[in-house]
Every structure is written in C-alpha cells, then in structure tokens.
Amino acid sequence: MPANHEFTRPDGKTAPSYYIEPAAGADAPGVVVIQEWWGINDQIERVANRLAEAGFRALVPDLYRGDKALDAAEAEHKMTGLDFGDAATQDVRGAVQHLKSAGGRVGTMGFCMGGVLSFLGAMHAPELDAAVAWYGMPPEEAGDPGTIRIPVQGHFGTQDQMFPTDAVNAFEAKLEAAGVTHEFHHYDAPHAFGNEDWDYYDADCAKLAWERSLAFLDKHLR
C-alpha cells in the first residue's frame, strides 16, 4: 500500500515522500519519480502506482514539502522558487540512496521540472543506474551532460515551446559527443503530453512514451 514516507538526504536532513512497493516487495528495483511543477498531486501519485504495478519500488520526493499548486501561475512561482541544485544533490540523490540501501538498481523518471531534475540526477547522483526524462532538460549552466556515465532516455514533444526541438537536439549532440548511452524520442505533441489531467494530454503519445520508458527501465534496472 502507498504511504507517506521519510528518507535522509546526504546532508543529514530528512525529507518527506510518497512511497509504494510492488508485490515483489523491497527486493524489487527502484525508481525515483520526480514531480512536475504542480507538486505531489493525484496524477504523479498515479505514475508511482503504475510503476509499482509494473514491478518497481517507487519513491516520490516531496520537493515542495507538502505544498501543491492549483493553477499554472502558482506552479510557475513554486518552480521558480525551487533551489534546483539542492533538489538534485540532496532530495533526488537522497531518494536514490534510500532506495539503493535496500539493494538492487535504481533509476529516475521525471516530468517537466522533474525531467530537468532527472538529467541533473544523472550528473550529480553517482549511485544512479539509469534516468528517464519526459519533456524536461537542464540549462547549460546547470551542469555538463558529458559527465553522465549512465544510460539516459528522453521524451519530447515537437510542439513543445518550453523545450524546443532545436535545444533538445543540441543537448543530445553533447551526449553523443561524450559517448553517453542515450535514446531520445520525439512525438508530434505539445509540452506535458503525458499528463492525463492537463489540457495537452495526448493519449497515443503518452502510451507509446510509457511503453518505451518501461522497456528502458526493464533493460537497465533488472
């Protein structure tokens, strides 16, 4: 059953999260699910639940510490106020370490803001084994993608104005130049096409991206 959960960050502070185990229990591989700019809402909890149904332990660090955004303006305000460096090196890395402490491989799966943090986790959490990012990509000043040493997967909409295709291609070129194992997929869809509670949801693209994500996690975590 899903439950509220705490884990310890590298700096020794505790952080809240949403956690759910599959039928296989604590022996299953783990996935840190990283929220969109909304916070931990019903939609992101459903993502964690679906991962548990697929056989993964799923841990969602609560980056907003219990807060949620009810509209886009509030969500943008909360995201802008987030310390991404702290979130990546403390919350995300701490969540990875927490899942890793039980054994097995651990990956990340992030959406929008969480997609940015999924890539940052790949740069700054050496315990991580694989990373999946849906429509999120860090800015150049956040870190060098060439330092990534794990397989990464990205899902991007060609109509996404927040993370346009030219920027995605430039980021992928850096991965290619550094020899980073990666696969990027592009969909004829706008930003946040995988969020079934949002205006731009595309069921067909979301289904394909989810199938590809699970196949990637199965390959690199099991």
Q: Which residues contact 177 (CB under 8 A, 6 or more apart)?
A: 146
pLDDT digits (tens, 9 = 90+) for 86-113: 999 999 999 999 999 998 999 999 999 9
In one-letter notation, the amino acid at residue 162 is M
Residue range 111-138, pLDDT digits in tens: 999 999 999 999 999 999 999 999 999 9
Phi/psi at 39 (5° precision): 100, -170
pTM confidence score: 0.96
Taking the alpha carbons at both ends of the chain, their separation in whole angstroms is 22
Residue 1 pLDDT class (50, 70, 90 cuts): very low
Question: CA dist 166 to 65, 86, 162, 170, 186, Å?
Answer: 34, 28, 11, 6, 12
Task: Answer for the pair 102, 124: CB distance below 8 angstroms, yes or no.
Answer: no
